[in-house]
Each structure stands twice: as C-alpha cells, then as structure tokens.
Structure 1
Amino acid sequence: MLVLKCIFSPVRCPVPYGIFSKYLMFSTSNLSNATTPKPRTEAKEDYRQRRQIAMTQFLLNECGLSEAQVSDLASRRAKMFRTKSTLRAQQAIEFFRDSGFTENQVRKILCSKPVVLSLKVDTQLKPKIEFLKELGFTDSNLGLILSIAPNLLCISLERNLSPRIPILVSLFGSKLNLCKALVSYPRILDYKFENLKHKIDILKQYGIQD
C-alpha cells in the first residue's frame, strides 16, 4: 500500500529503499515463475496425454468407434495409445477399405484385435490377404471371414497359415469345399488339425460327404 500511495500521490513521498527493493524482488520472482518451463515430469505427462488424444480422435473420427469402445480398447491395449504417430494405423484402415471390407467389418476387427493397427501393410497384412484371395475368396468373403476370425491377420503366414491350407484341402476334398466351409466357419483355420480331422471322420461315418 505504501508503494501505491507513493506512486499515485501528488506529493512526492520518498520510498524507503528496503520496501522498494522487497517489492521489486517480489515482482521479479513472479515474472520468473511465469516464464519458468514446466518440470520434466509434467512435460512428459503432457506429451503422453497428447499422444493419447491423437489415437483417441483417430478411433472416434476416422474409424467410427463409440466412446465406450475406445475406452474398452484403452483398458485392454494401453500401449496402443502411447504411439508417436497414427500413420501406421491409418494405412491399415485404408488397406482394409481398399480390400472391400465394410465399415462394420473394420470396426469388428479393431474391437476384437486392435493390434492390427500396429501391423505393417506391405509385409504383414497384404501378403495374407493376397494368399487368401489365391484360394478363391472374394473381397466380400474376406471381409466376412476376417471380421469373425481376425486372429488370422496376426498369425504368421509362413509358419501357421500357409502350412494349414494343403492339410485342410485334403480334409475337405477341394479348395472350393474349403472356401465354402470357411465362409460359414472361419475359425476352422484356427482349429488343431487332429481335432478337426476327428470331427470330419465322424461326419463321414454318417455318410455326409463334401
């Protein structure tokens, strides 16, 4: 108050040096606090939150997921929301759409296997889609199969998916029969060979063919 009175008073009033210096130090300290950068922990937390917001907005706006679905994914796959960029996720979604998948099928895949957003299109997704197309599946069939059994997108083509096909063709008699079976029951590709063969043998005992 003394400083303000001295400033605005028409009569010049000397300000004791001790009070003036104390006021000056107080103002300077406030200014330095305002310009001091945030502690490192706060800066890291802000950066983490910005990355979470980027993935959240992508899932809501670009993929059409609901807030409840995004919240569920965040609780199951927290690591996915710590990604530095959504570029790979965008490429995966665009690839599914270009492959003829419907928006509903894409959402089913994401909710069931969100890890597909971290897979590389050229080396991990595209080769599997092309392999399945060579068996005779159409784009619409592929969307249906993979939305029901999205695990097929995550297993190894060389070690798991490719070796199963000749065995399954021998069990079902032809690629055409296998394709028909997979359209109705896509998870056949996940079954253990011994269990599947046992069930087919039982059906054949009852005279059921093809």
Structure 2
Amino acid sequence: MAVATLRSVLRCEILLPLFETCRLRDLLCFSSSVDAAAAVCGTASPDPHFMVEYLVNSCGFSPSEAAKFSKPLAHLRSTEKPDAVVNFMRSQGFDGAGIRKVISLRPIYLCCNVEKNLAPKFQFLRDLGLSESDIVDAILKNNAILRHDLHRSFVPKLEMWESLLGSRELVLKHLKKTGRFFFCSVENTLHPNLKFLRDECGIPEERVSLFLRSDPRFISRKPTSFRALVARADELGIPRQSRMFVWTLDVLHKVSKERFEAKIELMRSFGWSESEFSSAVGKAPTFLSMSLDMVRKKMEFFINVVGCTPSFIASQPNLLIFSLQKRVIPRFRVTEMLKLKGLWTRRCKFVWILCFSDTKFMEKFVLPHKEHAPELLDILRDAGTCKGNDTFHLASEDEEGLS
C-alpha cells in the first residue's frame, strides 16, 4: 500500500510539471497566434501577393520578374523597409535600372536597415574619395558591399588588396570596374592560389602582383579550379617561367573549354598544326579572347589580300591582335595607294608597318605625301582613326572582335 502510494505521488510530481509546461506552451502559442493575427490586421496588406504588386509598381519589374523576386520577401508584412531602401538608393544616385539590378541579384537587400546597414557603408565609400557615380558603379559591380560587415569584412579586404596591388587608388579603380574579386576569401582562395604560383609554379610574387594590377579576377578562382587552369596552360607547352604564362592563365580564365576547342578547330582549318597553335598562344594569348568570326576574317584578309602564309601568321600572332577595321585595312589601303602613285620608296614589308605606332606611321607614310596624295588622309578619316588636325586614334587592339 505504501509502495503504491509512493508511486502515485511520484507520478503526480512528474506529470504535473509536464502538464503545466504543455499548458503554458499552449497559452504561449495561442498568444503568439493572436499577436501575429493582430499584427497582420494592423499593418499588412490583406493581399498575400502585395510584394509582387510592390515590385511592379514601385520598382518597375515585370509581373513575372516580380513574382520570382518576391519569394525571398514572403515574410514581410508591410512595405516599410522596402520603401526606405528604395528611397535611400534613389537619393544616392541609383536610377530605376540600377535599383532593379541590385534587387534582382539579392532581393533580401530590400530588408536592410538603412540607418544601421546601408548609410554607414555609403558614407565610408565617400570618405575613401569615391563620387556618387563611382559608388553606384562599385556597388553594381560588387553588390556584396551591401551585405558584408563594414569593419569585419570590407576594411580588412581593402587593406589586403591595397598591399597586393600596391595602392588604394588602384583597388578603388578595380572596385568600380571589376566584379567578383574583392570579396573572395583570403584564407581559402587568395593565399592558396598565390602560394601555388610562388612555390609550385616558380612565379615570383612581384610578377603576379604586377599582372594583378591590370586584372585581379583570375586569382579569385577556387584553388581546385585554379590548378585546373594551370594544367590547361601546361598542356599548351607554355613554360611556367615564361613571362607570358600568367597572361595565358588570365585569358584561359575568360575562355571556356568549348570556345577554346572551337578556336583550335578554326586554326586547324587554316592549316595550323598543334605546335603552331601552342606557340601562337604562348606569344599572343589575347587572340583566344576574340570571337571566331573576327579571327576568321583576319586570317582570310592576311592570307587572301595581304598574301601571308598561315605558318607566317602563326609565327607572328600579334598580327591577329590589331584592329582589322581601324588599323589593318586602312594601313593596307594607304600602302597600296602609295604604290599606285609611285610614291612607295621603302622596302619595309606591310606586316612590319602594322607594328609602327600611330604617330610614326603618320609621320613616315602619310604626312610626307599630303600634297601629292591628299586622299591618304581621307582613307584614315573614313576608318575613323584620323581626327581633327591629323591626329591619329590608337587602334592597336581589336575593339570589335572580343567576345
């Protein structure tokens, strides 16, 4: 009897707290439900799709775009925060297209606290010396500025890139013009890649740093992807100690394997061997970045019009870098006109004339013949390379052939 009584007491002592806990939980849940319902009734639109309408009416998205970008915002019960963010961005120089781009990249930006999150970052960028338009460009290129902590993330990376590139001005220049490099992980990406280039590839840090000043993006690839990039350059037979090795890595970083293979097939159709292709890449890797159509047009012009052999072009691949419309064709027409008028007294081959600076070409082949062949200036003006008082527009790289 005593044992049964003890068991009954223990059972009550155990079950009573559980009962009270469950009761308390039910009361809390009920209270929360009531509060939530009251909040909805008080501040939210009765339409569950009010954020879709907001993105259409306030930001200019299409209905289908708004439906897509409103999904991460489904928890919002009013447009108070989105209104504040949109109005703030407009006040900072963003136009409608810029605001839509930022929202489309990360809709949750519409939930930011303007005073605590956004305003200090804009002020910090102004303090660095960036203008309003500079800040807009920087954020459109690196929207992560809006979500990363200012002091724990942005400032340390600014200091790291400043030491790597050599100056803060250069970092800010790339921040305005270059995307997807500034916020890559220092510990997991930058340090491993730099160490790999230095220790395993034998490339001095000074050379890497010098290259990064012109393009910091390729070093921000994940280490496994970066090693695969180096392997592709190795397959071309380009020595790692060559000064063109890093340039080749940068070009391969921008060119997919599919486009690379298509370029090989194109050059093979002109008679290039694999060794000629590899040699050409090692001397002028930039031609890999050009569209297939532009490379084809240049090869056909040099072979069919100028009279170069494919092997000669492979040995002098810089010929493919020059702009066809602004340098190659105009200069060819000038030399042909000089020959026609009997004014060609030099034995310099046309392909070497392409390497002359604009000023030197004008001084040696155009200005001395202004009286007897005034049409030479017309040829250059028609190409858009000669402007005003016989000044010459630099067109050493193909401006219409990159893709």
Question: What is the TM-score normalised by the length of structure 2?
Answer: 0.37
Residue number in structure 1 paired with 2:80: 87
> Partners of 1:107 and 1:151 in 2: how far apart?
15
* Cα gap change, 1:208 to 1:126, in 2 (>3 Å): same
Q: How far has the Cα of 1:49 moved from its partner?
A: 7.3
Give percent identity, aligned residues only: 24
The answer as to 2:125 corresponding to 1:129 is no
Q: How far has the Cα of 1:53 moved from its partner?
A: 3.3
Q: Could you list the runs of 5+ residues in structure 2 that have no partner in the other structure?
A: 1-33, 214-403
Contact 1:149 1:186 (C-alpha < 8 Å) held by counterparts: yes
Q: How far has the Cα of 1:196 moved from its partner?
A: 4.0
> Partners of 1:70 and 1:202 in 2: how far apart?
50
Could you say what the CA RMSD is over the residues aligned between the two structures, in angstroms? 2.9
Q: How far has the Cα of 1:59 moved from its partner?
A: 0.8
Residue number in structure 1 paired with 2:301: none
> Partners of 1:82 and 1:50 in 2: how far apart?
14
> Partners of 1:204 and 1:105 in 2: how far apart?
37
- 1:66 pairs, out of 62, 69, 73, with 62
2:92 partner letter: S
2:120 partner letter: P
Residue number in structure 2 paired with 1:6: none
Residue number in structure 1 paired with 2:52: 56
Structure with the bigger RCO (C-alpha within 8 Å, sep 6+) is 1
Aligned-partner SS, 1:155: coil
* Cα gap change, 1:181 to 1:85, in 2 (>3 Å): same
Could you report, residue by residue, the CA deviation over 1:11-58 in whole angstroms, capped at 9, with x for unpaired residues? xxxxxxxxxxxxxxxxxxxxxxxxxxxxx9xx99x9787253332221
Aligned-partner SS, 2:148: coil
1:119 partner letter: C
Residue number in structure 2 paired with 1:182: 175
Residue number in structure 2 paired with 1:26: none
Residue number in structure 2 paired with 1:102: 95
* Cα gap change, 1:209 to 1:114, in 2 (>3 Å): closer
Aligned length: 165
Residue number in structure 2 paired with 1:170: 163
Contact 1:101 1:139 (C-alpha < 8 Å) held by counterparts: no
Contact 1:125 1:153 (C-alpha < 8 Å) held by counterparts: yes
1:55 partner letter: M
- 1:120 pairs, out of 108, 113, 119, with 113
Residue number in structure 1 paired with 2:349: none
Aligned-partner SS, 1:190: coil
Residue number in structure 1 paired with 2:3: none
> Partners of 1:203 and 1:67 in 2: how far apart?
51
Q: Which structure carries more helix by proportion?
A: 1
> Partners of 1:138 and 1:186 in 2: how far apart?
18
Aligned-partner SS, 1:167: helix
> Partners of 2:204 and 2:92 in 1: how far apart?
37
Aligned-partner SS, 1:186: coil
> Partners of 1:179 and 1:84 in 2: how far apart?
38
Contact 2:148 2:154 (C-alpha < 8 Å) held by counterparts: yes
2:152 partner letter: R
